[in-house]
Amino acid sequence: MVAQSDGISVFAPELADTISGFDPKAFDALSEAEAQHFWFVTRNDLIVGLIDKFFPNARRFIEVGCGNGAVLRAVAASRSWERLVGAELHPSGLVRARERLPDTVEFVQMDARSIPAVDAFDLTGAFDVIEHIADDEAVLRGLRMATQTGGGTIIAVPQHPWLWSRLDEYAHHQRRYKRGELEAKLRRSGFEVLFSSSFTALLLPVMALSRLKGWSSDNADIDRELTINPRANALLIAILRAEVRMTLAGLKWPAGGSRIVVGRAI
């Protein structure tokens, strides 16, 4: 019998709201930023666009590591779904996600390394999640098990180890991915790679300068990363939306702050 807490199935109660790859206290700051910050807004555009391009007939989707539900809300609004599931280790994130999403969306508290589903979804995804987990391939194998053969997955991760900074430490990242690393891990886990590209390629020089200048010992730089002047934010949204349009048209960017990969379960 699976335990229930406020209507949420709980599979890993011993890890709930612990600092296990992520500090759940960060949900407050993220909740403020996700609705308007250029990176979150345009990443949602890219994810929804890739779903529409590669999996137009998908109707059953689970997001592993859904956090506050920002991506899941964008996905939910993109089409009519038979089943939408948001999975997250931390109930504090799921509480916020449930406030953002329709009552028909299911929520599950679980360890991403042990996904309790087999052939249940025709689309799965994890967006800036697996870099928090030491055994990232356990998550990818679980996603393959949860994805029916012929279905798909979309994974986004931070890219380029040379961009490592205090922000990665603050976020409890285990790694930034080398080019080709995520693709190789997906193939080993039972996926065929359909598409792979960088994200935030057009902003990479600015990002590199901000990372390589060094970070202070307090959280001031991190706060500035999430709080941006509205005019500058609008400009950056326009730049990245142009990048997203080119990406969805088929352009593959060799370098950028993130890597996003589309796979098919084989």
- Across the range 138-162, mean pLDDT stands at 98
> Per-residue pLDDT averaged across 13-34, rounded?
86
Residue 224 has pLDDT above 70, yes or no: no
The yes-or-no verdict on residue 217 having pLDDT over 50 is no
pLDDT tens digits, one per residue of 70-81: 999 999 999 999
At residue 82 the predicted structure's pLDDT band, cuts being 50, 70 and 90, is very high
pLDDT for the residue numbered 100: 94
| Domain CATH number, residue 250 | 3.40.50.150
Domain membership of residue 56 as a residue range: 3-265
* Number of folded domains that form the chain: 1
- How high is the pLDDT of residue 122? 98
Mapping DSSP onto H, E and C, the string for the chain reads CCEEECCEEECCHHHCCCCCCCCHHHHHHHHHHHCCCHHHHHHHHHHHHHHHHHCCCCCEEEEECCCCCHHHHHHHCCCCCCEEEEEECCHHHHHHHHHHCCCCCEEEECCCCCCCCCCCEEEEEEECCHHHCCCHHHHHHHHHHHEEEEEEEEEEEEECHHHCCHHHHHCCCCCCECCCHHHHHHHHCCEEEEEEEEECCCCHHHHHHHHHCCCCCCCHHHHHHHCCCHHHHHHHHHHHHHHHHHHHCCCCCCCCCEEEEEEEEC
- pTM to 2 decimal places: 0.94
